[in-house]
Amino acid sequence: MRLNDSDAWSKFVYVLLYPGILGSMLYEATNTIIETARENRMNALEWYLTARFLVIILYCLDFLHMYNDLDKKTKASKWWLFVDTVIPIIFAVAYWLTSREAYTWQFGVLSVAFILIWAYPSPQNTRRFLYKSGKSLALAVALLAFVAFAIDLYAYYFYWSLALTITYALHVFLFTTLATELSREHEQCS
């Protein structure tokens, strides 16, 4: 395999890396639930598990977006193939930081992921302003969450995590779809 073979690299990232990291996250979270249930400590674990599952949901949203909306639909250079590999690893690090209860650093790492996601080329034939608006909203929430935790606002962890998950879901399912559909309508009218 040549390192600049984009098809092989894409298969590595989307068929092996993303599912492998997701499986690792789910196994670890499930194992934590089972161990905690055995020790009858479920009340103390709810906050902790919510943090983990919100990172898992963000990771799944990113996979769906990258695989279905961006793979083969962008004019990405070899540099972006490398970024495709780095983003799931960054999410894995964020998950690991969550399991260590290092929430400030978790949002810092997620901010780096969202900066890369924001910089990623838009799919061809989309309304770029609308598409970038959705990514900008998710990036802003990630950065605000990092700042909030840097100044010790830990009490709002769940709300920041939920806001980040919702804004990224809006980008993936609403803004991307609208940007693509409006672009198609514009092409049909032309």
Beta carbons of 51 and 161 less than 8 angstroms apart? yes
Q: Which phi and psi (to 5°) does residue 143 adopt?
A: -70, -40
Q: Is residue 23 one of the residues assigned to a domain?
A: yes
Residue 41 CA to residue 46 CA, distance in Å, equals: 9
Domain of 148 in residue numbering reads as 6-189
**Is the pLDDT confidence value at 141 over 70?**
yes
If one counts the domains in the chain, the total is 1
Q: Is residue 141 one of the residues assigned to a domain?
A: yes
Q: Is residue 167 one of the residues assigned to a domain?
A: yes
Residue 107 CA to residue 144 CA, distance in Å, equals: 9
pLDDT band for position 77 (cuts 50, 70, 90): low
What is the reported pTM?
Answer: 0.75
pLDDT band for position 75 (cuts 50, 70, 90): low
Residue 74 CA to residue 55 CA, distance in Å, equals: 26
**Is the pLDDT confidence value at 188 over 80?**
no
Residue 74 CA to residue 81 CA, distance in Å, equals: 11
pLDDT band for position 190 (cuts 50, 70, 90): low
Q: Is residue 155 one of the residues assigned to a domain?
A: yes
Highest-pLDDT range among 38-47, 117-126, 150-159: 117-126
DSSP state letter for 102:
-
Residue 180 CA to residue 153 CA, distance in Å, equals: 38
**Is the pLDDT confidence value at 17 over 80?**
yes
Q: Is residue 183 one of the residues assigned to a domain?
A: yes
Q: Is residue 162 one of the residues assigned to a domain?
A: yes
Q: Is residue 96 one of the residues assigned to a domain?
A: yes
Q: Is residue 1 one of the residues assigned to a domain?
A: no
**Averaged pLDDT of the chain:** 77
